[in-house]
Structure 1
């Protein structure tokens, strides 16, 4: 899966002031990421506010990104949930021909055991006609997919090809890197530790901040993959403060504020999320303008 090496970005869903999808802004976001050097695009991940989109809106987002991308970059689609039967049904009925893989989150809210997580992804694997990227994000799911479960899945199912590891635990990521099958990819799901994960043997990152600063962030990952450590860390420390800021009051409110400052989208999120407060907006404004001025 060479197409999953480097920087992927979990695309936002831009909204207008009336909370409808802003298709023109979505087009700008996609082109901004592509022009900035991103390696692949992830549609309908958590950052897309997927949980608040209707089925019709999801189809609109998918169709728009496919159209704008026009085959330029590989595409990954978020297909996951906490109802295994519904996920399996979607995988069996959806046209996935435009995608190189699906990104499937570990079941949330139900708090399954490790065996339950294994059986869920066994069903996902057997239903999916394309490769599967596991997604471990305990901060959202309330359960941690342990390395032993990930490795069991990676060894048992050929089409489970990668994990987006977003536990925020570098030691856990290194356990996966040490013991994984040769061709299985460990992809960071945490922007702040993406570079250390890459330097430890990871394949790259599925990023939030990468869509706001695609040139700098994707170059950092490429430098890391090429073992140009000092140059990579210069870019890491350049962006580190902003990585903290964009998650300070929730995702994607922070990254949407960055896009608003850049003039690409309005910062509109759907309830129960709210936009960042004036203090954080001011700090982000200062940071973004400093980056723009120096590049």
Structure 2
């Protein structure tokens, strides 16, 4: 899965002020990412406000991204739920021909045991016609997929090819990197520690900030993969303040404010999320102006 090495971005779903999907803005974001050097695009992840999209709206997002991308970059589709049967049904009925892999989140809310998490992904691996990227994000799921469970899945199923590791725990990520099968990819799911994970042997990142600053962020990851450490950290420290800012009042409210500051899309989010407040919006706007001056 060489196509998953580098920077992927978890695309937002831009909304107009009336909360309808802004397909033209979505196309602009896709093209901005492509032009900025991103390696692949992730559709309908958490950052897409997937939980508030209807089935019809999800289809609109998928088709808009496929059309805008026009084969330029590999696409990854978010296919996850806390109902295993629902994921299996989607995998059996959805046309996945446009996608290089699926990204499937560990079950949320139910708080399964490690054996339950294993059985969930076993069923997915046995059903999916394309490669599977596991997604561990305990801050959202209320349960941590332990390295032992990840390694069990990676060893037993050849189509379980990677994990998006977003526990925010560098030690846990390093345990995965130490013990993983040779071709299994450990992908950072945290922008702030993406570079350290890459330098420890990770394959890259699935990023939020990367779609807002694709040139700078993807260059940082490429420098890290090429062991150009000083140059990579220079890029990291350029963006680190904004990484904190975009998550300060929730994702994707922060990154949508970046896009508003760049004139790419509105900053509209759907309830229960709300826009960032005016004070944070002002700081983000000033940061965007500073980076643009340096570009």
Normalised to the residue count of structure 1, the TM-score between the two structures is: 1.00
**Aligned equivalent of 1:249:** 249
In the TM superposition, 1:131-210 aligns within 5 A as: 131-210=131-210
Distance, in Å, in 2 between the alignment partners of 1:238 and 1:70 is: 32
Distance, in Å, in 2 between the alignment partners of 1:76 and 1:23 is: 19
In the TM superposition, 1:12-91 aligns within 5 A as: 12-91=12-91
Distance, in Å, in 1 between the alignment partners of 2:270 and 2:118 is: 33
**Aligned equivalent of 2:286:** 286
Give deviations 1:173-210, integer Å, cap 9, x for gaps. 00000000000000000000000000000000000000
**Aligned equivalent of 2:96:** 96
RMSD: 0.3
Cα deviation for residue 227 of structure 1 reads 0.2
Distance, in Å, in 2 between the alignment partners of 1:211 and 1:68 is: 15
Cα deviation for residue 267 of structure 1 reads 0.3
Moved runs in structure 1, 4+ residues, more than 6 A? none
Give deviations 1:60-87, integer Å, cap 9, x for gaps. 0000000110000000000001000000
Distance, in Å, in 2 between the alignment partners of 1:134 and 1:70 is: 26
Distance, in Å, in 2 between the alignment partners of 1:284 and 1:26 is: 21
In the TM superposition, 1:209-288 aligns within 5 A as: 209-288=209-288
Q: Which 5+ residue runs of structure 2 have no aligned equivalent?
A: none
Q: Number of aligned pairs?
A: 295
